[in-house]
Amino acid sequence: MLSNGSCIVNPRLNMLKLFLRNLNYSNIPHCIPNSVTTMSLIDIPLTSFNKDINTTGLQEFVKWPESLEVLYIKNARTGPIGNHVFKNMPLSLRTLQISSCKIPWPRVSIRWPRNINHLTLIYCKVETTDSTTFKDLVRVDFLSMRGNLMTDVPFGLPQTTKTLDVSYNRMRTVSDNVWGGLNNLTKLYISNNQLVSIPKYLPSSLEQLNLKENQISYSDRDALERLVNLRQLDMSYNRLLNMPQGLPASSMRRLTLNNNEIGLIRSPADYKYCVNCSSISLQNNPWVCNQNLINMMLWLEQLQSTLRITLSGFCASIQTDLGRVELKRILHYMTYMASSFHNCLYDVQNLQCKNASLSQLPRPSPLGLLTVLVTNNKNLTLVPDNMFKLQNKLTSLNLESNGITRFPRGLPSSLLVIYLSYNKITAITEEDQSTLDQLVNLKQLYLSGNLIKILYDYQLQRMASLRWLALNNNPMECDCSMQSLSLWYIQAETTYHYTSIQRYLEPLCVEPPNRRNQRITTIFGAYYYEYNCIPRVCTHRQGNLDCSYTTQQSKNRTRFNVLPTIPRNTYWLTLDLSNLQLENEKISLTQLTRLTTLNLTGNKLTSIPLQGLPRSIENINLSRNKISTLPATTLITCYLPNLKQLDLRNNSFSTIQTQEVSIFLAVTSVLLKGNPLECNCKLRPLITWIQTNEKNEQDLSTHDLKDLICFTPKRFEGRFIINLSESEYCPVVNLSLIGGLVGGFTALLIIIIIIVNIYLYKKRKKQERRDIVQGFKDLLEKEAMNEGDPETGVGVAPVTYEYDAFVSYVSDSDDVEFVYKMLEEMEEKRERKMCIHERDFTPGRGIADNIVECISTSRRMVLVVSRKYASSAWCQYEVQIALTELHAKRRGRLLVPILLEDVTRDEQYAGSVTTILSAITAIQAPKAQDNDRTWANFWNKLDKTLT
């Protein structure tokens, strides 16, 4: 009927659906009737095509019918689907279903047909997507990606999506930002994944949510309260421990919670949102069959006319006194309960497990018990918390002669007597105290034969009905810490008229040795405690010790700057040492190991006395002292690990350093009001912390930071710190401007320094030239005073010279190296004594005086001539004239010029030395690279000249 040869279709053929399965390329019809609306391509080996369909598109092989609306492709065996495979699809296409085809996202970006509104991509091994994956889909309202490999909800979903199915993937969590823009989403299926919690920030437009078969154990109320339009919720086959709360009562119609771990109905809020529901399914949950469950069942029964209820499962525990009507639902579960108590007797109201070799109590316990007796089980070391809390008819609890190590917690207030003798209980701790406070009906408490060393009266004060407390055979330590218990027993003996047997069961002392085996009431009476355990300047009441200035003043015993002597005593919980002008070194309270509250207000402390405080401190008042700095937060948490409130009001803090701000995180409440805070850049860490946490009302209120005000500078006085902007208290400095000004000033200063140095250098050189000229003039005058004929020597007095030669050279040039070499040769090897100005001029004398002195005492004067020398002060015209005259006066035996450079041929320098060199023959110095023989001849010639 469909011919490939002519590609002509019978016009009378009215075909609506076409299924092509297991066909080769040659068998696929190229001409398909235009009447076809639904087309399926199943198991077709498109890889056998002679062209790349991923590049050209399927239209190269199939002529799509113009009315095609639905295209289904399954197991096309094309390899990874490319980006152009759906190129030029007919505009009529509305539904595209692809299954079991590999889609390599996000490496390729498929160009989807733009008019489709129903897209199914199931079992395509999709792992992830990006923002471009669905960018062409502008009309899609149904999107299914079931059975892929995704670990998160796809990102960049079309905003037109109304139904999304991502079931059977690998999701454990869902990113918060994937729901942005999905305001039309009404149905969401995320079943059969690995979610551990309900996704947050789900669109409020959701009406149907399916979270079936995940691993959710807790229903987030905040996440559910957002779903104000939700009508159906399915959380079956999860791990829920409680019924979800926060669902909208106005819209909820169907709730399914089958096969979870829901046991306890907490309150009517667990189910009353279903007042308009048409179906509730709660099958196969381990119910705690108590009154709350029965109340829910009764409430549901009232709605039976409009509500279909499915409630089944098994009871994890049973309440036995619910009445005949309710018991019909749960009595058949009693056999389950009986099988849980091995080697125990249970008759609905009583449970007995004597010598049963138990290591743990039977749990869950049946409700409705009147008595519990579990004794002689040495391996039983712990009673689980709240195990008996719901037993509101329990009157007697006997747990004697076991191995229990701490007082049971979470006991019902109905108890009248508790037997805990001969266990291994060491103390009644703060954690146990809440349980004792609930035992308002308890009359007898037996704790004999345990390991208790101390007990306090305030631990018993809430048990108003307690008449008898057995504490014998405990290792009681009879020090000042026992004062309150002793007084409690003394009062109880008088009030309740104890018998001799009851007195026998009172505690005996074990420590100290001199009080061993004596009853505490006979050792520690009121007189003993009043004068030996309590400072006489203090008052006390139920663990509170008051030694403040006010109290001492009332006793006329006020002592300033003196800490009262307080013996070791674990009884005191609070201590008042206010207004005593105490200094840091006076604080030593580590012996009060249970002290929790300390008042040190109005003293002279300059720092927090960490080392003098017990680790048990929780609240400390240090207001109105002189503290100005905080210790490191690590030190505070080390010395005071339990600290919760620190009052530092009205001290001397002017700033809070960066490292000190962390105290607001380590301590629950830190109060700083009334300190002279200086609002400048140094206070930025505190101001920034306050403003950053401005929306956290709890933090600001507990630290009382909203009312902090500035004291200085004057312009901020009285202003609230929280309202300051950084530009006010710490203006931004224009570093570029300052840098430019500093740079400009520095450059100007450098220029001035250079100019001044040049000026001073020229001035010094000028003065040096004048001094040299003056020196030679003075030298001529001195020579003139020696009368006689310089040519014949007649009348010339004999002169003894100190130096063989005075060496004239330029010290700031390369000539120095030659001079030092000459000195080494002449002085060390030839025993000549040479004079140079750097070494032999007398310090403190003028240049002129030194020239006269040195040249007068030198037989010869060696001139080291170079270009530098020719332009120096030594070659001034006046100096040359003086040297020439001196040379003549010395009969031509004064000057010895040595030419390092031949300046006579250099017009620039020749004029400077003409006067000297015109009358005197100079010695040419060898070059540095000349051989040793040349240098030896030169030194011999120079040495001979100096003779």
Asked if residue 682 lies in contact with residue 658, where contact means CB atoms within 8 angstroms, the answer is no
Q: Does 146 score more than 50 pLDDT?
A: yes
Provide the total of helices (H) and of strands (E) in the chain, helices listed first: 25, 34
Mean pLDDT across the stretch 401-419? 94
Instruction: Say which residue the tokens 């005996």 belong to.
Output: 508
Mean pLDDT across the stretch 673-679? 91
**Following DSSP, what letter does each residue of 738-749 receive, concatenated?**
HHHHHHHHHHHH
The Cα 159–Cα 184 span in angstroms is 7
Is beta strand 142-144 parallel, antiparallel or unpaired with respect to 163-165?
A: parallel
What pLDDT band is residue 861 in, cutting at 50, 70 and 90? confident
Tell me the backbone φ, ψ of residue 420, rounded to 5 degrees.
Answer: -130, 25
Determine the 3-state secondary structure of 361 from DSSP.
coil
The Cα 536–Cα 538 span in angstroms is 5
Mean pLDDT across the stretch 231-256? 93
Q: Which two tokens stand for residue 639?
A: 């010395």
pLDDT in tens, 451-497: 999 888 878 878 889 888 999 899 988 877 777 788 788 888 778 77
Instruction: Say which residue the tokens 């350093």 belong to.
Output: 657
Q: Is 817 or 88 the better-scoring residue by pLDDT?
A: 817
Q: Does 658 score more than 80 pLDDT?
A: yes
Nearest Cα to 631, choosing from 657, 650, 652, 613? Answer: 657
Q: Does 205 score more than 60 pLDDT?
A: yes
Q: Which two tokens stand for residue 891?
A: 């009969």
Q: Does 906 score more than 80 pLDDT?
A: no
pLDDT in tens, 303-340: 776 777 766 555 555 444 433 333 334 433 333 344 45
**Sheet of strand 396-398: strand arrangement:** 345-346, 350-354, 371-375, 396-398, 417-419, 444-446, 468-470
pLDDT at 77: 57
Q: Does 871 score more than 60 pLDDT?
A: yes
Long-range pairs for 837-844 at CB < 8 Å and ≥24 separation?
837/811, 838/811, 840/803
Asked if residue 506 lies in contact with residue 478, where contact means CB atoms within 8 angstroms, the answer is no
Q: Which two tokens stand for residue 907?
A: 């017009």
Among the ranges 242-246, 726-730, 785-789, 808-812, which has the highest mean pLDDT value? 242-246
**Following DSSP, what letter does each residue of 826-867 receive, concatenated?**
IIIIS---EEEHHHHSPTTS-HHHHHHHHHHTEEEEEEEE-H
The Cα 794–Cα 394 span in angstroms is 149
Asked if residue 675 lies in contact with residue 650, where contact means CB atoms within 8 angstroms, the answer is yes
Nearest Cα to 183, choosing from 169, 154, 202, 203? Answer: 203
Which uninterrupted H or E stretch holds 359? none
- Note if the bond before 106 is cis, omega within 30 degrees: yes
What are residue 107's DSSP bridge partners? none
pLDDT in tens, 80-118: 555 566 777 888 889 999 888 777 676 666 778 888 999
Instruction: Say which residue the tokens 């079956």 belong to.
Output: 236
The Cα 210–Cα 199 span in angstroms is 12
**Following DSSP, what letter does each residue of 232-252 receive, concatenated?**
EEE--SS--SS------TTT-
Asked if residue 78 lies in contact with residue 101, where contact means CB atoms within 8 angstroms, the answer is yes
Among the ranges 205-219, 269-283, 584-598, which has the highest mean pLDDT value? 205-219
Q: Rounded to 10 degrees, what is the CA torsion of 822, 828, 829, 830? A: 80
Residue 867: alpha-carbon gap to chain centroid: 73
Asked if residue 608 lies in contact with residue 587, where contact means CB atoms within 8 angstroms, the answer is no
Q: Which amino acid is at 771?
A: D
Mean pLDDT, rounded, of the chain:
80
Q: Which amino acid is at 464?
A: A
What are residue 895's DSSP bridge partners? 861
Mean pLDDT across the stretch 352-360? 78
The Cα 22–Cα 42 span in angstroms is 7
Asked if residue 28 lies in contact with residue 62, where contact means CB atoms within 8 angstroms, the answer is yes
The Cα 773–Cα 882 span in angstroms is 8
Q: Which of 9-18, 142-151, 646-655 has the lowest mean pLDDT?
A: 9-18
What pLDDT band is residue 5 in, cutting at 50, 70 and 90? very low
Mean pLDDT across the stretch 508-534? 72
Among the ranges 310-314, 382-386, 394-398, which has the highest mean pLDDT value? 394-398
Instruction: Say which residue the tokens 């040039």 belong to.
Output: 813
Alpha helices in 273-333 (DSSP H): 291-302, 324-330
What pLDDT band is residue 183 in, cutting at 50, 70 and 90? very high
Instruction: Say which residue the tokens 């198991």 belong to.
Output: 43
The Cα 226–Cα 64 span in angstroms is 46
In sequence order, which residues have a C-beta less than 8 Å from that of residue 549 and are 6 or more positions away? Answer: 558, 578, 579, 580, 602
Q: Is 305 or 142 the better-scoring residue by pLDDT?
A: 142
The Cα 900–Cα 815 span in angstroms is 8
Instruction: Say which residue the tokens 């667990």 belong to.
Output: 270
Beta strand segments in 170-270, E: 187-189, 208-210, 232-234, 254-256
**Sheet of strand 895-899: strand arrangement:** 834-836, 803-808, 858-865, 895-899, 923-924
Residues of the chain with pLDDT > 70: what percent? Answer: 78
CA angle centred on 748, ends 743 and 751, rounded to 5°: 125
pLDDT at 44: 73
Residue 788: alpha-carbon gap to chain centroid: 102
Mean pLDDT across the stretch 206-232? 93
The Cα 393–Cα 411 span in angstroms is 11
Q: Does 45 score more than 90 pLDDT?
A: no
**Radius of gyration, CA atoms only, the chain:** 54
Cβ of 371: how many Cβ atoms within 10 Å? 15
Q: Which amino acid is at 449?
A: G
The Cα 880–Cα 870 span in angstroms is 11
Asked if residue 665 lies in contact with residue 686, where contact means CB atoms within 8 angstroms, the answer is no
Burial of 42 (0-12, 13-18, 19+ CB in 10 A): middle
Tell me the backbone φ, ψ of residue 73, rounded to 5 degrees.
Answer: -120, 125
